[in-house]
Structure 1
Amino acid sequence: MPTYHVEMLEGRTVEQKRRLVEEITRVSVEILGGSAESVDILITDVKRENWATGGKLWSERS
């Protein structure tokens, strides 16, 4: 089964992350088959100073 790597800006609550992994797991099993226990999800929280879009750091956006 799959292993998902989710990278996102820090600031989400544990409850938001819990809901996200539950839904990713549910959809994976629904579409790919297999068991929920075989779906791995790694979440990496990235500081805004370490993420840039369009040549601008997120920590410098208003």
Structure 2
Amino acid sequence: MPYVNIKITREGATPAQKAELIAGVTELLQRVLNKNPATTVVVIDEVPLENWGIGGLPVEEFRAKAKSNG
């Protein structure tokens, strides 16, 4: 039974977008690894932006720095 955990920042992914992620990951596992969709589990965790970091910086600071650089 495959278990996939997708973590995204809590920035407004819609229920339709989440459903598309679940369906897409399930289909990918079936196509590539021949896994049974009926036993494939996909969990989406939405992480508050203040709990997400990139390159040693909080994501908001990282984005501001990236924006100012280019």
Query: TM-score interval w.r.t. the shorter chain?
Result: 0.7 to 0.9
Tell me how far apart the structure 1 counterparts of residues 14 and 6 of structure 2 sit (CA, whole Å): 15
| Partner amino acid, structure 1, of 2:23 | E
Q: CA deviation at 1:42?
A: 1.1
Q: CA deviation at 1:59?
A: 3.6
Structure 1 unpaired stretches of 5+: none
TM-score by length of 1: 0.85
TM-score by length of 2: 0.77
Percent of matched pairs sharing the same residue: 29
CA RMSD of aligned residues (A): 1.3
Q: How many residues align?
A: 62
Structure number with the bigger relative contact order (C-alpha 8 A, sep ≥ 6) is: 1
Larger Rg: 2
Tell me how far apart the structure 1 counterparts of residues 23 and 30 of structure 2 sit (CA, whole Å): 11
Structure 2 unpaired stretches of 5+: 65-70
Task: Give the corresponding residue for 2:30.
Answer: 29
Q: CA deviation at 1:13?
A: 0.8
Q: Which has the higher helix share?
A: 2
